[in-house]
Copies of this chain bind each other. A is one copy, B any other.
Amino acid sequence: MDTENSVNHEPDMDGRDIENDQLMDCKETGTAESYTQPLLSKRVNTTSQIAIVGANVCPIESLDYEIVENELFKQDWRSRKKVQIFQYVILKWAFALCIGLFTGLVGIFNNIAVENISGFKLLVTTDLMTDKKYFKAFAVYAGCNVGLAAAAGALCAYIAPAAAGSGIPEVKAYLNGVDAYSILAPGTLFVKIFGSVLGVSAGFVVGKEGPMVHTGACIASLLGQGGSRKYHLTWRWLRYFKNDRDRRDLITCGAAAGVAAAFRAPVGGVLFALEEAASWWRSALLWRTFFTTAVVAIVLRAFMQLCSSGSCGLFGEGGLIMYDVSAATVTYSSSDILAVLLLGIIGGIFGSFYNYLVDKVLRVYSIINEYVFLFDHSYYIFTWRGAAFKILLVVTIALLTSCCSYGLPWFAQCIPCPADSSVSCPNTDVSGNYKSFQCPSGYYNDLASLFLNTNDDAIRNLMSTSTSKEFHISTLFIFFTAVFCLGIITYGIAIPSGLFIPVILAGAGYGRLVGRLFESISKLDTGLFALLGAASFLGGTMRMTVSLCVILLELTNDLLLLPLVMLVLLISKSVADNFNKGVYDQIMKLKGFPYMEAHAEPYMRQLVALDVVSGPLITFSGVEKVETILHALRTTGHNGFPVIDNPPFSDAPELCGVVLRSHLLVLLKGKFFSKDKILGGEEILQRFAAFDFAKAGSGKGIKVDDLDIEEEEMDLYIDLHPITNTSPYTVVETMSLAKAAILFRQLGLRHMCVVPKSQGRPPIVGILTRHDFMPEHVLGLYPHIKPHK
C-alpha cells in the first residue's frame, strides 16, 4: 500500500498532528517584532506517520539516540561508581552472549524442524511413488504443503501480522531510528520462528534467512526491555538498557547473529549487519557483534557434532547449508573471464528485474492488506475476512508451488545414470541428487532432483561439481523460469519469507544454465557457474558486496574463489544500480518507513533549515503552569517541546533546552507543583532518580490519560528545569538544509532546534524532526525544485 499520500488519522508521536491544528494555542513567547513569517504558522507536515510492518499497518515513532543531558542525568552520572560501570559492561557482554546463544538455538531448532518435517513429507511421497501410486503421492504431497502453509498463514494472519515477509526491511528501518511497537514484539518473535519453520517445510520458494535476522533482532529486543514488572523481572542491573542507544546496539548484534545462524557464516553476519542493516556503527560494536556471531558459530558447531551421531532424526548433513564446490578447478583463462563477465551483466539485469517484479506483486497483494486496514476498526467480520483472504492467498500459492514441483518433472525425460557416479543413482532418499521419480531403475529424473527436494538440497545439487552433464539445458531452463516466478509471487504473502534462498535458487539455476550454454567457450565447472550465477542474482537484488562475498565464501569454504565472486558481485551490482534500488530499500519505501539516508540529497542545498520548519511551535516556560502543559500534551502528538527561560529567570527570553513528552508525563505524575512561579528543582532532584525517566520497554510508558490531575492543581506551577535537556543540538535558521540533514542523521537525533540568526526575536523558531527531512515533505513545499538534478 502506498501510504505516502494517505491521510493520517493515527495519533502521532513525533511529527505534527494535523487534525488538532485548530485546537492548539500558538504559545509564542518573547518579543516578536521581526517575527513575521506568515508561512510558518500555517505550514504543516503532512507526511505519513504510519507504516506497514509485516502485513500490519501501525503508527510509527522515532527513536532518540541523543543523550538527554539534564540535571537529573548529570546528578546520576556524578553519583555513578565504578561498580555500576562494571555492572553495565558485564551486562552488555552477557547480553551479547545470550543473543548469540538463543539465536543459535533457534537456528538449530529451525533446521532440525524443517529437515524433519519436509524430510518426512518427501519420504512418504517418494515411497508412494516407488509403489507407482502417483495420484495418492501428489495428494499427500500437496496436502502436506497446503496444511503446513495454512498453519503458517493462520499464525501470521491472526497472531502477528507483523511477522509476515522477510523482516529485514523492518529491522533496517528500526536501526535507522524508526520504531513501531509490533516490529520487535514477543508475538512477532513467536510467529517468526514457527511460521518460518512451517513455511519452509511447506515447500515454498522462501528462505529462513530474513526471518532469522528478524528473530535475532526480536531476541535482542526482548533482552533489552529492561526487565518486566508483569513477570517480576525487575533486576536493578537491567535498567541500564532502558534507552534507545543501548537497545540499538543489542539489535545490531541480533541481526548479525541471525545471519550467522542462518548461513553458519559468522564473519558474513558481522558484515551483513555493517553493510546492510545498521545505520550507525562504531568500532566497539564491531567487536561485540563479532563476539555474538562467534557464540552462534560455536553453538552450531556443537550441535552439528551432536547430530553427526544421527540423533537428530532426518536431519542429515543437508541441514545447515554448506555447498562444496572445492572440486572445481580455479585456474581460468581470458575466455572464462569473458563468460563470467557476461554472466554478471545478465545476472544484474535479471536481479533488478526481480526487484521490479517484487515491487509490482507487493502492490497487488497490498490491496488485500488495505481492505483489512480500511474496515478493521468498524466491523469484526471484515477483519476475519481480511485474514481469511490472506490465508486463502497463502493456500493458493502453496497449491501452485506443489503443482509446479510435482507436475513439471513429468515433462522431463528419464536420463540414464552416469556410470562413474560416486553417489547412488537413482536415489530414493530424502535428499540428494539423481532422484528416481517416475523413472525405471538405472534412470533418473533431473528436474525432480531439483524440484522434489528442499531448497537447500536443490541449491546443493545445482552447485555440485564434476556433474556437468547431470542436468539438461531444457531442465535448467524450466527450473529457472519456474523458481524465478514462484519466488516473486511468494514474497509478500502472509508467511515469514526470506529472500535469500529464492534469489540463490534462481541464480544458481541461471548460472548452471549459462554454464551449459557456454560449455564451448569456458572450461569452468558448471557447479562453479551455478555459484557465480547465485552471486550475480544476489548482487543484482540485494546490492551488497562485501557481506555477500564473505557469506558465499563461508558457504562454500573455498577462498580461492574470491576474485571471481568479487568480480561477479561488483558487475551485477553496478549494472542493477542503473535500474532501481536494492530490494530491501525498495520494500522499505513501499512500506512507508521514513528512512534517513546517510547523505543529503542535492536539492537540499537550495534550501535552508527554516524553509522546512512546520508549525505551530509549542514552547514552555522554564516554570510552567500545569494546565498549559497538560493541554499541550493532550492536543498535540509532539514529543519534544522547547523550554524558554523568561525573566525573572533570565535577563531576556533565552532557549533553556528541550523537554521530552515522556519525561513531562513522569514529572506530572509525581505532582511536585508549587503555587508560585518559583524554581523547585532541588526537591525534584531529591525525589526522582534518573532511571525514573528512562525509556520504558515497548508500550509500557505512561500515557497522558493515566494522569489524574485535579481541577485545582491546574493553576499550579511546575519547574521544568531538572528535566530539560540543556544541550540540545541547534542549527541557525539560515543553515543549509543539506548540512542540517547531515547533522541530524550523523548524530541520530530526534529533535533539532532551529534558532534565529538575528537578535531581538524569540530564541527558537522551530523544531525539525525526521519527517521534516523527508522528500515528500520538502518537495511538497517546494514543488518547483527538481529532485534529480
Contacts and interface: CB of A to CB of B under 8 A. Distances in A.
A731 B559 CA distance: 50
Contacts of A77: 602, 605
A385 interface: no
Contacts of A707: none
Given A267-B546, A566-B297, A735 B739 contact: no
A219 B746 CA distance: 30
Contact of A69 (B553, B605, B726): B605
A294 B655 contact: no
Interface string A710-743: 0000000000000000110111101110110011
Contacts of A298: 563, 567
Interface in A579-625: 598-599, 602, 605, 608
Contact of A281 (B281, B291, B563): B281
A554 interface: yes
Contacts of A274: 274, 286
Interface string A744-759: 0011000000010111
Contact of A566 (B69, B275, B290, B743): B290
Contact of A557 (B287, B294, B560, B599): B560
Contact of A286 (B267, B546, B743): B546
Contacts of A297: 562-563, 566
Contact of A331 (B281, B283, B305, B742): B305
A291 B69 contact: no
A651 interface: yes
Contacts of A133: none
A22 to B, nearest CB: 33
A497 interface: no
A27 interface: no
B570 A559 contact: no
Interface in A631-674: 650-652, 654-655
Contacts of A549: 267, 290
Contacts of A270: 546
A74 interface: yes
B655 A757 contact: yes
B557 A598 contact: no
A550 interface: yes
A703 interface: no
A724 to B, nearest CB: 12
Nearest to A296: B563
- Copies of this subunit: 2
Contacts of A286: 274-275, 545-546
A732 B730 contact: yes
Given A275-B286, A559-B554, A727-B736, A266 B747 contact: no
A604 B597 CA distance: 30
Interface in A300-335: 301, 305, 331
Contacts of A608: 727
The main secondary structure of chain A at its interface with chain B is: helix
A598 B282 contact: yes
A67 interface: yes
Given A281-B281, A652-B758, A758-B652, A731 B730 contact: yes
Interface string A220-260: 00000000000000000000000000000000000000000
B747 A74 contact: no
A573 interface: yes
A558 to B, nearest CB: 8
B757 A654 contact: yes
B746 A290 contact: no
Given A545-B290, A570-B291, A747-B742, A759 B654 contact: yes
A650 B291 contact: no
Nearest to A69: B736
Contacts of A758: 650-652, 654
A563 B69 contact: no
A549 B554 CA distance: 13
Nearest to A758: B654
A314 to B, nearest CB: 23
A440 interface: no
Contact of A294 (B287, B570, B651): B570
Given A266-B562, A294-B570, A566-B290, A283 B739 contact: no
12 contacts: A267-B549, A267-B550, A294-B563, A294-B566, A554-B562, A608-B727, A654-B758, A727-B736, A729-B731, A729-B743, A746-B746, A759-B759
Given A281-B281, A297-B562, 12 more contacts: A267-B546, A271-B271, A274-B286, A282-B599, A291-B570, A294-B567, A297-B566, A305-B331, A651-B758, A655-B732, A743-B747, A759-B760
